[in-house]
Structure 1
């Protein structure tokens, strides 16, 4: 069998195509199906199957679109309760495609309906596509289904299920089995994921903490500790994936476009995706700066953390040439229908950001209210300013009233990207005092 791994770097998402003869199967495809179609063309193969390991929380899958356009059958666990046409795929179920036999292993833990896809070919090569159950160096977090999906399992129950999964479910597979997960380092679906894109089951049995000999109580305590925050959009995406998303191309094509900003509704949120330096020189009043300049800017995650599902917003891009790329990135989390219009700043924007006097700040930091928007786990590792107020970025809009307004405000994160967004949120809501972005200057205080 031929296996191709596709990477979506900003979401740290891996998806897969498996080819045998003139047939192809996909595992956990991303929102845009075109890369899989191109790969099928290159191999003169027909896409006959799409395996969904579970209803994903952090991205929208194209499974339903691929079914409609390629005629593929969708396979997923009966426990998903999927609203789209599909064939249940649970333990005991198999699919033969050319020289490859696919079988399901029910592996609850990240979600109650998770499955691992086991593939074996005529040469006795074993591969598992482990979804969000088994990562390289870690396992999937068990705390995403308390408020989302048709099975709202509690985190403790799923943590115990994960213990049983890791302890028993992979035991029949040889050490040589290649492990292909749905995510790598940078994903919020786990906490200590390796930067490696694949591994073997033997290596994971030796090096992954979850395979260590330990009691269920010890395992549960470890997996529940210090998990990252849960963005607002996660439950929203689970529900979309459970019913199947709209066609990607036509959905993003429906978003209106405006040159300049004269026609916008002033009561609707504006999200400005330009570089922070350009934003500070001029932006629309009350705009929030969530940068989308390159793949290292995680606009998918931070837009979905700061803006609520179904909340309308305008989207500012730096140029008409950036319009499609930014829009497609937002479509990956299903937020394209919330965009009232895309705007380019052809006429220029008049609102500017306050500029911090670094020398004055260094001499008398006590003259400022310092807001640390890092996550709680980051702050626990060490504060840069002893008297800083910690409000994580994803909670800042909701907790903005907790900030005092008696001194100028300085916002910082760990490197500068998040502080640009946080500063714009604070400045949007607090006008009584200046609001400054410490930005990359935070490096001087570490």
Structure 2
């Protein structure tokens, strides 16, 4: 028997490949399905089942395309009502996979259809639990997402269901069971997840705050405390996972159309498409197409797209480093942004060679910021990190305008006054600057390296004791 976790850092998401005697099950696949198919073919195996732990909110699953291409059966837990062909399993139902067995445990709480899958090996030993968003390493699934679909399901009611699911179905399992969750640190599906992506149930009983002995009322209070609003795209992804979606092959076909500078410019003018520049923040700062927005591909790309592009049906034109166009269309599709209509062939160099207009954003070092502050002590600094990051440690006198809520903050930025913008490491600040630049704010200056460089320089008055934020550094996952 073979079990492989296929972890995608950009989404902090774990899919799973399970194989026994030439038969394969995939749990919670990503939108692009060819890697699973190739893996099975390389092992002379066939994909028999696609198990879904629930209707995901943070990404669009590849269940429909994978079933269509392989003939596999899509399996959901009890109460799921998908609008496509799928098998709705009973609580406790067992599926045969080669010489292994997979048992369905209905675990409502994160959502009502949530299910965990208990894997028993060829010798009859219970080996692993694929816990979806019911149980994470260090946390449990947040109980407030399903209420976006049904107002009758309050977060308190869902938390109560989750308490029962954990105590009735999961905690009685053997301590040496390996927990394989759907997400790790960085996902918005929980609030206290570990950077570790697997653990034993015994360890989680010791260290996971939500599994400590407590009453149901205490549990409900603990898991509902401190929940921040979920990203706006979450309900839209749920609906795509319930209703179905365009084939990934079709999405890739229209999204990877190569457009000359003239054709790209015409498409932008005629369609009103968003020009999304996915290059690194500093490359973008040097030269970009006016009114384009920067969300770098080498960062938490898909979650920021979902958080900031409010219309999931928005047509998108892509500016990218050469050779990365298909990757970008794929990663957009992972969170349901299926309407990319092409990319700039030859990238920004081709645009410049064609004599097209470009813009730039001033980006300075922490040392240069210090020099300017010496000359002008009261200059305006905007910190676009999240409130909890800002509270932990920040530049004295700076204003916190979190990128997550940029539309709420625009009225607090003065168009005619120079302001210096930073985040933790330089990724989010350029997103913030590019969005405001596209809306007519021309007096924002970016601070390279963000708060990390400001603090490391030792030249500034820092309030609090800052700690780095996981996942913002360039290159965190794909």
Please confirm whether the aligned pair reaches a TM-score higher than 0.5, indicating the same fold.
yes
Question: In 2, distance between residues paired with 1:365 and 1:87?
Answer: 67
Residue 397 of structure 2 is aligned to residue 382 of structure 1:
no
Residues 1:391 and 1:277: Cα distance change in structure 2 (over 3 Å) = same
Of 325-334 and 349-358, deviating more is 349-358
Residue 360 of structure 2 is aligned to residue 352 of structure 1:
yes
Question: In 1, distance between residues paired with 2:254 and 2:52?
Answer: 27
Name the counterpart of 1:444: 454
Alignment of 1:80-159 (within 5 A): 80-126=80-126, 127-148=128-149, 153-159=153-159
Alignment of 1:71-86 (within 5 A): 71-86=71-86
Alignment of 1:301-316 (within 5 A): 301-308=303-310, 309-316=312-319
Residues 1:386 and 1:167: Cα distance change in structure 2 (over 3 Å) = farther
Of 325-334 and 340-349, deviating more is 340-349
Question: In 2, distance between residues paired with 1:50 and 1:215?
Answer: 36
Q: Which runs of 5+ in 1 are unaligned?
A: none
Q: Which runs of 5+ in 2 are unaligned?
A: 456-461, 463-478
Name the counterpart of 1:16: 16
Q: How many residues align?
A: 438
Question: Does the 8 Å CA contact 1:76/1:90 hold for their aligned counterparts?
Answer: no
Name the counterpart of 1:362: 373
Question: In 1, distance between residues paired with 2:338 and 2:18?
Answer: 30
Name the counterpart of 1:403: 413
Deviation at 1:387, TM superposition (A): 4.4
Cα deviation code 1:376-415 (max 9, x no counterpart): 2223323323341x33212213531232335212222122
Residue 393 of structure 2 is aligned to residue 391 of structure 1:
no
Name the counterpart of 2:266: 263
Name the counterpart of 2:217: 217
TM-score, normalised to structure 1, is: 0.92
> Alpha carbon RMSD of aligned pairs, Å?
2.1
Question: In 2, distance between residues paired with 1:82 and 1:366?
Answer: 59
Deviation at 1:213, TM superposition (A): 1.1
Name the counterpart of 1:39: 39
Question: In 2, distance between residues paired with 1:138 and 1:289?
Answer: 33
Deviation at 1:239, TM superposition (A): 0.8
Residues 1:315 and 1:385: Cα distance change in structure 2 (over 3 Å) = farther
Q: Secondary structure at the match of 1:336?
A: coil
Deviation at 1:441, TM superposition (A): 4.4
Question: In 1, distance between residues paired with 2:51 and 2:394?
Answer: 44
Question: In 2, distance between residues paired with 1:209 and 1:79?
Answer: 29
Runs ≥4 residues deviating over 4 A: none
Residues 1:245 and 1:220: Cα distance change in structure 2 (over 3 Å) = same
